[in-house]
Amino acid sequence: MQGLLPLIGVLVLLGIVAFLVKVVLPSLGKGQVVLPYQKEPVLFTPAERSFLAVLEPALGDQFRVLGKVRLADVIRVKSGLSGSERQQAFNRIQSKHLDFVVCDPNDLSVQFVVELDDSSHQQARRQARDEFLNKALAAAGVPVFHFPVKRSYSVQDIRGAIFEQADSEQKT
């Protein structure tokens, strides 16, 4: 009987440990959220990096270039809409991103947007997105410049395209 008592004690202890492992410990972790994320290796595609390397010098110190900005951070839905209209309008802009947003370096007010158009812009779905983007930015008074992806870019060509168009728009 004396040899049986320690065995019963060990079995009871194992039972308690099994209960804790199976019931108590899993419930402790239920408040924790699984975060299945990893760092993106780079922010820009090679084409975007190449273009940015020419865009920044083309604009000089007059502007500051920000990349991969959410459209909803550049334009907002006008007031005066019903709740459902407002939500629908916001839903159309919330998940879209702009390639480059060009700001005043002093106050970071948005001056214009630059989109880099690769071969995906030939697809009907992408063209519809670009058309919506152009119209939404125009409605908000934000100019947008589109540049096709090329092997190389010229600072003068980019500067000319942006400043010549901006000058002609100011004259009209």
Amino acid at 19: F
Q: CA triplet 59, 63, 66: central angle to 5 degrees?
A: 100
Q: What is the pTM of this model?
A: 0.75
Say whether domain 46-171 belongs to CATH 3.90.1570.
yes
- Closest by CA to 58, choosing from 155, 152, 146, is 155
Contacts 24+ apart (CB under 8 A), 138-144: 139/75, 140/74, 140/75, 140/76, 142/74, 142/75, 142/110, 142/112, 142/113, 143/111, 143/112, 143/113, 143/169, 144/112, 144/113, 144/114, 144/115
Query: For residue 10, what are the CA distances in angstroms to 2, 15, 26, 68?
Result: 13, 9, 24, 62
Q: Give me the pLDDT at residue 130, please.
A: 95
Residue-wise pLDDT for 122-158, tens only, equals: 788 889 999 999 999 999 999 999 999 999 999 999 9
Q: Give me the pLDDT at residue 4, please.
A: 66
Q: Give me the pLDDT at residue 87, please.
A: 96
Domains of the chain, by residue range, sit at: 46-171
More confident site: 75 or 7: 75
Whether the pLDDT of residue 90 is over 70: the answer is yes
- Band (pLDDT 50/70/90 cuts) for residue 119 is confident
State the average pLDDT for the chain. 87
Residue-wise pLDDT for 36-72, tens only, equals: 999 999 999 999 999 999 999 999 999 999 999 999 9
Least confident of 28-32, 68-72, 85-89, 163-167: 28-32
